[in-house]
Structure 1
């Protein structure tokens, strides 16, 4: 096994190996992982391309990696500074992170280079095919983005690619009502789907449809960048109606082997629930798509419910009669839960795991136990949301929560990537 440099030929060598790995996954199923390793505090020497690792140190790092590198794997040196490991047949994100931890342990001890010695540490960025990219170029870029995340506040020395981690602009851009309606009429809107995982095996049990806007000037926009304008100009319900219809029609068109055992989550605002036409629209969409109503889950933001006038409660009987599921989404204030459980009677409560970051583990376990008890009294069960750190996953697994969603499992994906995951 060679250690190609990241000159044009070397980069092509790594990309060609990734192309071969992609073909094997497409044929046989499975995943592969790309791990970028950046040694820190290492000895360096100057050559014409800039500051790079000492050749003797490169050899020692490579020798350290050998116990975990199989014949089917590939190793390359990128930019003279980062080491890339292409690990094939990796069983999901948990296995990729476990491999990264073992690599980190192997590198976390003193090295010697020539006659000198120096202790090094390492940062790692991890991206998986097909979760985090469908081409070698995308996977390399996203592994680099994960590596960059290790240097940001809150980052650790080992990061899985998270499309939400880079500095996504969340400020509304002040669009006019005409611009927003044009997005609908000019086919500028589209949907991504974030898989939801059954635990503990992380198999996909459903997807949440997420609205995106490919703006002709501003590029990719997320809902938080245009929903405030839509609400201001009275266009929000039109956007939600578009998302509801297209999510159901798209899901109904997916092959049966993809959707088997899956449900479809769709975000619905309390304002949409309060609209007298909503039950009629939902009924029409169910009929048009021919989806079984029990496969549809309406996900309703807990905080928005509290702020919205109480009239949404009167709409719930007509909605329930259609046979769809109800999800209490984005629960980040546990004090609100008992009241909302009584009023909404959801089947699922999505607990936002972000609220537990940095908290005492005993308090976290106690809070989740209380929430489980409340949910059980109303026939509901918990789903963990925004699971993005290994520590959050530990809380989820220890608490016996049966479903999870977050970039630690799967990021939002185009439909074709969901197909690839389900067919692996």
Structure 2
């Protein structure tokens, strides 16, 4: 029965450095023309009546004379899908690896192959060989010289053992396949039955889930979170245990949405939800309230300060970069934490306290967390009042533009103006930008305020043209928020069309740090502006950390040297050297140079005498500073322009009023951005 299911031809590999051994084994294993009587008697003695049911196996014999060659043949046989059943391997085969190391490699390649270790040396005991190769029932040691019947018996025994093992393995695999197939049929039938039974329940469950969960993230929504918060309050009262409410939103989320699109924003929210779930226990709740705002409910706290550990985990997890829409973005959270019952005994008060703490985290610089304290309520109320006042100022036209002249150092004439933002509050009077611009940026109001500045500056320049003033340029500061806005070039084009200005007379000043924040996108925005004919100026040059290699990628027209270098240019040779280097670099790039913060005649004289290859033009073409005129309202600077046109000295100081609380050394170009 066994003989009918096993192969009668087996592959055999002989690895020996002696050619005679190969010939001997081949003669022994190849079937003779006639049956050998001695072999028949041996088979009958060993196998009895079963001998007649067996047929003598056939062997296909391959030879290898070195261990490395034998290893290669085993690998090739496996690749061909025709593995060896048996390998005769000599122990000593100089100069290559010995037979035991050869067998170690062969066993690693083919764990099923059986082996006969052939040795003529009495010092190779079974224990020594087994110690090197490990205990195995697939190996027999055969001493040289060996008897042909012994070789034939070993070959048949190991070959049929190899075949039986393969057959058993195949039968087991087939049995497992059939069991798996029948199991799958049974599971499919059961699954169909379960689907039919659960169909109505699922429909009802889906409706309940949609009503209580956020569609985008699958998290509990505001309704479900409120229910769980109310139940948490009841449990906390009963068991006298604190819990915490943690409110957070993502800094810069709007920028991701605006720059990369809403699909990227949705992907970011889903990834944030997954990270938040990884920061809490099974008994806690994470919910999405809407937009980029999430809330965590942390129950059964041992101590209210335990919430700090969770806040730190959330901050670390959500601050890590995310791959969104093929872009690497970071949107760290601002987190506010309120605990029951210290910061509120009801749901509304707890949520309000957490909200105040979150805004305090934003005010502290974002990407951090804050625990609620009573003094936050007062500071937050003040902040909300400031926001309302700024929104009212924008709606009621309380913002004003003041202007500071730009001087051509070659002619001494006023050739341009920089528009500077002021806020004329009905109660507090004139407020300089340093006192409200940071808050406007936090509140997200710089976009509409910057648009107002742009339109007002263009209208004022057109009005001066109509009044007959000499031809001037107008410099307007651009905030980082505007530079990141895809619609900003269109806003500039509309402002030019409304005022009828020649685009070449409008100069847009972008800070060095804003331009280098995302240089590829900044270059694209500035290229669109340059294509309109607008001049682009890098403001505060030298105050950032820009690469000169990257700087040349920007489509810019001029560099404005930061005032900190001009301030000490007379007494500090290093500052003078820096300014000289900036001027030389700018000219090599074909850029105009403007020096800001010029306050003394000595500074002016040094800038005028700065060496340059052109003998009739100054190296630094333009200058700006208190020496030529303070920031002033439009009527005053219009009179100053007319005076300069009539030949007044270039260094005459303006008598314009100072900003309230602004010292004489304050920067004259305090921009709105």
Higher relative contact order (CA 8 A, sep 6+): 1
Specify whether residues 302 and 214 from structure 1 end up closer, same or farther in structure 2 by C-alpha distance, changes over 3 A only.
same
TM-score where L is the length of structure 1: 0.55
Query: CA 1:194–1:340 in 2, change beyond 3 Å: closer, same or farther?
Result: farther
TM value normalised by structure 2 = 0.36
Secondary structure, counterpart of 2:402 in structure 1: strand
Choose the corresponding residue for 2:432, options 222, 228, 236: 222
Cα distance in 2 for partners of 1:375, 1:342 equals: 10
Q: Does 1:391 align with 2:610?
A: no
Cα distance 1:332–1:178, how it changes in 2: closer, same or farther (>3 A)? same
Match of 1:194 in 2: 404
Structure whose residues are more often strand by fraction: 1
2:587 matched residue in structure 1: 376
- Tell me, in whole angstroms, the C-alpha distance in 2 between the residues paired with 1:354 and 1:243: 26
Give the Cα–Cα distance (whole angstroms) in 2 for the partners of residues 358 and 422 of structure 1: 28
Q: 1:267 aligns with which of 470, 477, 495?
A: 477
Cα RMSD, aligned residues only: 2.4
Q: Which piece of structure 1 moves more, 271-280 or 353-362?
A: 353-362
The answer as to 2:641 corresponding to 1:422 is yes
Larger Rg over CA atoms: 2
Higher helix share: 2
Distance in 2 of aligned mates of 1:401 and 1:370? 12
C-alpha deviation, 1:363, in angstroms: 2.6
Conserved? CA contact 1:345–1:378, under 8 Å = no
1:398 Cα deviation from its structure 2 partner: 1.9
**Structure 2 Cα separation of the partners of residues 358 and 173 of structure 1:** 38
Alignment partners' CA distance in 1, 2:409 and 2:594: 10
Pairwise mapping of residues 177-326 of structure 1 onto structure 2 (< 5 A)? Answer: 177-256=387-466, 258-307=468-517, 310-326=520-536
Q: CA deviation at 1:356?
A: 4.6
Does structure 1 retain, via aligned residues, the 8 Å contact 2:509–2:538?
A: yes
Shift of 1:319: 1.4
1:367 and 2:578 matched: yes
Contact 1:174–1:229 (8 Å) recurs in 2: no
Aligned-partner Cα distance in 2 for 1:176–1:364: 40
Question: Aligned-pair distance for 1:247?
Answer: 0.7
Deviation digits for residues 188-235 of structure 1 (CA, Å, limit 9, x no counterpart): 111011011111443100000111100122221111111111111111
Query: C-alpha distance in 1, partners of 2:385/2:446?
Result: 12
CA 1:342/1:396 → structure 2, altered by over 3 Å: closer, same or farther? same
In the alignment, which residue of structure 2 is the partner of 1:407? 626
Paired residue secondary structure (2:609): helix
- Find the residue that maps to 1:336 and give its secondary structure: coil
Residue 49 of structure 2: aligned partner? none
Tell whether the 8 Å contact from 2:512 to 2:538 is kept in structure 1 after alignment. Answer: yes
Question: In structure 2, what is the Cα distance between the partners aligned to 1:199 and 1:337?
Answer: 28
Deviations 1:214-266 (A, max 9, x none): 01222211111111111111111111000001110121112456543310101
Q: Deviations over 1:147-173 (max 9, x none)?
A: xxxxxxxxxxxxxxxxxxxxxxxxx98
In the TM superposition, what whole-angstrom CA distance separates every residue of 1:57-113 from its partner, at most 9, and x where no partner exists? Answer: xxxxxxxxxxxxxxxxxxxxxxxxxxxxxxxxxxxxxxxxxxxxxxxxxxxxxxxxx
- Name the residue aligned to 1:36: none
SS across alignment from 1:275: coil
Contact 2:567 2:598 in 1 (8 A): no
Secondary structure in structure 1 of the residue aligned to 2:400: strand
Alignment correspondent of 1:94 = none
Q: Are the equivalent residues in 2 in contact too, given 1:195–1:405 (CA < 8 A)?
A: yes
Structure 2 unmatched ranges of 5 or more: 1-381, 611-618, 644-673
User: What does the per-residue CA deviation read over 1:321-373, in whole Å, with 9 as the maximum and x for residues that have no partner?
Assistant: 11100011112337636245323232111112333544654333322222122
Count, aligned residues: 253
Q: Could you report, residue by residue, the CA deviation over 1:95-134 in whole angstroms, capped at 9, with x for unpaired residues? A: xxxxxxxxxxxxxxxxxxxxxxxxxxxxxxxxxxxxxxxx
> Following the alignment from structure 1 to structure 2, what is the Cα–Cα distance between the partners of residues 225 and 396?
32
Q: Distance in 2 between matches of 1:174 and 1:391?
A: 47
Question: C-alpha displacement at 1:314, in angstroms?
Answer: 2.3
Report the 3-state secondary structure (helix = DSSP H, G, I; strand = E; otherwise coil) of the residue aligned with 2:540.
strand
- Unaligned runs of at least 5 residues, structure 1: 1-171
Summarize the Cα distance change of 1:367–1:238 in structure 2 as closer, same or farther, 3 Å threshold.
Answer: same
Change (3 A) 1:337 1:175: farther
8 Å Cα contact 2:565-2:578 kept in structure 1: no
Q: In structure 2, do the counterparts of structure 1 residues 356 and 295 end up closer, same or farther at CA, with 3 Å as the change threshold? A: closer
